[in-house]
Amino acid sequence: MEQGVFEDYYELLQISPNADPDTIHRVYRILAQRYHPDNVESADPELFHRLTSAYHILGDAEQRVAYDVQHRSTCRRTWKIFDQSDSSQGVEAERRKRQGILALLYRKRIADPDQPHVTLREFEDLLSVPKEHLTFAIWYLVQGEYVQRGDSGRHMITLKGVDLAEEMIAARPDVTPLALPPATLAAA
């Protein structure tokens, strides 16, 4: 990893931050074989090098712990789209909360399709908004069938929600975390 540039190795390997070492190893082997410089059909030496760096960090328990600290910190910085002092109330604040929630769920669905849910606690942490300020936005998104509430209070985006998220991103990329370069985004 270059100094000053954070790369989300979990996203690069297309795995969850909760992945066990065996999963990391299996996924790395598949991707490394696909992008190895000797593979005539799909060689990508630069991507192969990045995958190998990711595997060396995530495959070593001590290095992974240190990386996870940085990963969580970067995720929190990336998703802090609300300034608590002036944007927790009002129509525009509610719109931005809904946009942030949809953007998180959209990103989560893309990054981890097998577990595309986000809990209320994760919304609080990633958006830096207390749950009391998220209740109306989540209610609105559930009632509009943009978001579905699943088991244990987990929320996931619906097909209708994906369409709305993409419209919001196109209309206001300046306030949507998805407009940031992929390397700065963390899977939720």
What span, in angstroms and rounded, lies between the C-alpha atoms of 51 and 8? 11
Q: Where do the domains of the chain lie?
A: 9-74, 82-184
CA distance 20 to 78: 25
Concatenate the DSSP letters of all residues of 157-175 into one string. E-HHHHHHHHHHHHH-TTT
Q: What is the C-alpha separation between 34 and 37, in angstroms, rounded? A: 9
Residue 147 predicted with pLDDT over 90? yes
Contact between residue 11 and residue 185 where contact means Cβ atoms under 8 Å apart: yes
Q: What distance lies between CA 30 and its chain's CA centroid?
A: 22
Transcribe 64-111 into DSSP letters.
HHHHHHHHHHHHHHHH----TTTSSSSHHHHHHHHHHHHHHHHHHHHH
Q: 13-22, 125-134, 157-166: lowest mean pLDDT where?
A: 125-134
Q: Give yes or no for a contact between 187 and 107, defined as CB atoms under 8 angstroms apart.
A: yes
Look up the pTM and report it.
Answer: 0.53
pLDDT at 36: 95
Query: In angstroms, rounded to a whole number, what is the distance separating the alpha carbons of residues 187 and 109?
Result: 9
For range 19-35, the mean pLDDT: 92
Summarize pLDDT for 89-142 with one digit per residue, the tens. Answer: 678 888 888 888 898 899 888 888 888 888 888 888 777 778 888 889 999 999
Domain 9-74 annotated CATH 3.50.50.60: no
What's the confidence (pLDDT) of residue 132?
A: 83
pLDDT for 173:
64
Domain 82-184 annotated CATH 1.10.10.10: yes
Q: Alpha carbon of 130 to those of 74, 80, 120, 127, 178: distances in Å?
A: 19, 12, 9, 9, 21
Query: What distance in Å separates the CA atoms of residue 121 and residue 114, rounded to the nearest whole number?
Result: 20
Q: How confident is the model at residue 37 (pLDDT cuts 50, 70, 90)?
A: very high
Residue keyed to tokens 């954070």: 6
Tens-digit pLDDT profile for residues 46-81 = 999 999 999 999 999 999 999 988 887 776 655 555
